[in-house]
A and B are shown apart, each in its own frame.
Chain A
């Protein structure tokens, strides 16, 4: 039989019991929609995590002081006073493949202005810090190299600090007080929002690291050194070089520092969301299989109901293969129809979920293609057994069937 006729006959048979066909396809519709919605939401979550990791800055290697041990008590990472400005500057000079280095000194201070006060993170950084963090100035400008060299009393502030201390806005040119010292606000940062760990990145006052060390912290040692590599593939090498370089300067003493690579953090975080996506997708996949079993069930009923019809077809010269193709095509049409409607429903519902919850949703084309291919495969797989049963009927028996 010509294929166009096979399809015609299949469509007619499906139309004959339209309600049943729709209910059968519903299993596949829900399955495919669930897979697409779950994978889309999962991908959205993944992209959100990746974006928030990227907002920490790209290709960043951080050097932290090691643990200080006083009277047998270990202070934990960062407690040692081991990193110096000189080391930071030497790293910049000596090691290749580095774009920027920012010596960093941070602590929390009470900041005052306009008779208001707010406890904020005061970060001493180099001029390059904003570039490393992919951060930009909204108003005014960043302090300059000259400010760093002269340990000037200038600062740029985040949006949260603006809101808390300059509620009437326009802080550039005015000053705030840290530890009773006036710092002139030269710039306001663009809002960056909360980071992956839930802390407010806009709650910050950035001053030259030299000013921090000299006027606020009043100590010679740094909190950390932030290093930006030229490209991701150089990170491991630079991490090793920095470790070697610092170790060499310690003349064989135990290392009192640690060098960390942001990539590891990013990988761990994306791996988590990836696992979630796979998990959600797998659960949705189960519903697809259940839908497939529904198709098989209905096709078996259909074969029994249409035994006489099969008998007639065999009697007038249909081969077993013709009957097999007939029922297989019917099952595939059911599942592909279900798959197509499932895509529409899946895309629609993911848009709706994204609209309602404000989650980012990334509709993945591979999930769509995958779902359609899978539903067709389900049609073949679950349609085959009933179809074969029909094809193997004995024409005489089938004709006698009441």
Chain B
């Protein structure tokens, strides 16, 4: 499989304070197409900074970043914006949906900023398909405030999917969700991954990382561990167990 992401000795230093902060100090990493990677680490380990670099929201201070074969380390603001729009799908911990805007319109957003212009009908059609993938087509006209956390995150995933990106990047996607909903969201990621979409996510929950195929651990701005997941959890099975447990609890009570 071709390499979707190729990082070569990436450094990121923040100069804003009195003392320069070395957030990422020399990360070399390749991620192939179809992988499902979890980046873990304590807070301050540099995993979020690495995620921002991967997501082209930020530029490395030093090093080379090849995304789908093209060097993106030295692109300008607008070129990075186009990359985010076309090649990347971003999912945040806090969902980051536009309030007072329907689920469907939230999903449409990246298409409106694409360099290619689509007709309103085409945009609507694709947004519906995207919502369909995450199983939310029946909630298209709901506002974020009318949706549960899990549903909001699924809208965010649909939004990330709409421009058919090469890679989905998720920054603590289950951080604001309860455990059952977290499993539900991981199920969505596993389903997408099974269809061939590369997924990279940041998490600090070990059990969530177990749904992925490969675990990276960061400490002090460096990668300290890179292991494949052996006893991988399958979301649908876990969901079954939770549901059974719930029913049992009710039977006992």
How many A residues touch the partner, as a band?
A: 20 to 34
Q: Chain B 122-165, CB within 8 Å of chain A: the 1/0 string? A: 00000000000000000000000000000000000001000100
Answer whether residue B78 sits at the interface, using C-beta atoms and an 8 A cutoff.
yes
Q: Chain B 40-63, CB within 8 Å of chain A: the 1/0 string? A: 000000000000100101100000
Q: Chain B 87-109, CB within 8 Å of chain A: the 1/0 string? A: 00010100011101100000001
Q: Which of B77, B78, B109, B117 contacts A316 (CB 8 A)?
A: B109
B159 lies within 8 A of A320 (CB):
no
Q: Which of B52, B81, B117, B159 contacts A319 (CB 8 A)?
A: B81
A395→B97 CA distance, assembly (Å):
15
Q: Which of A1, A311, A312, A321 has the most CB of B within 10 A?
A: A312
A315 lies within 8 A of B98 (CB):
no
Please name all residues of chain A whose beta carbon is closer than 8 Å to the beta carbon of B163 when the two chains form the complex.
317
Please name all residues of chain A whose beta carbon is closer than 8 Å to the beta carbon of B77 when the two chains form the complex.
319-320
B52 lies within 8 A of A317 (CB):
no
**Tally of B interface residues using CB under 8 Å:** 26
B81 lies within 8 A of A318 (CB):
yes
Contact A317-B117, Cβ < 8 Å, known A309-B98, A396-B58: no
Which residues of A from 301 to 318 have beta carbons under 8 Å from B?
308-309, 311-318
A146→B209 CA distance, assembly (Å):
122
Which B residues contact A (CB, under 8 angstroms)?
52, 55, 57-58, 77-78, 81-82, 84-86, 90, 92, 96-98, 100-101, 109-110, 112-114, 117, 159, 163
Between A and B, 29 residue pairs with Cβ closer than 8 Å are A1-B113, A2-B112, A2-B117, A5-B112, A16-B100, A308-B96, A312-B97, A313-B109, A315-B57, A315-B84, A315-B90, A315-B96, A316-B90, A316-B109, A316-B113, A316-B159, A317-B81, A317-B86, A317-B110, A317-B113, A317-B114, A317-B163, A318-B113, A319-B77, A320-B77, A320-B78, A322-B113, A396-B57, A399-B96
Which A residues contact B (CB, under 8 angstroms)?
1-2, 5, 12, 16, 308-309, 311-322, 395-396, 399
18 further A-B pairs in the complex, CB-CB below 8 A; given A2-B112, A316-B110, A318-B113: A311-B96, A312-B97, A314-B81, A315-B55, A315-B90, A316-B85, A316-B90, A316-B159, A317-B81, A317-B82, A317-B84, A317-B110, A317-B163, A319-B81, A319-B82, A320-B77, A396-B57, A396-B58
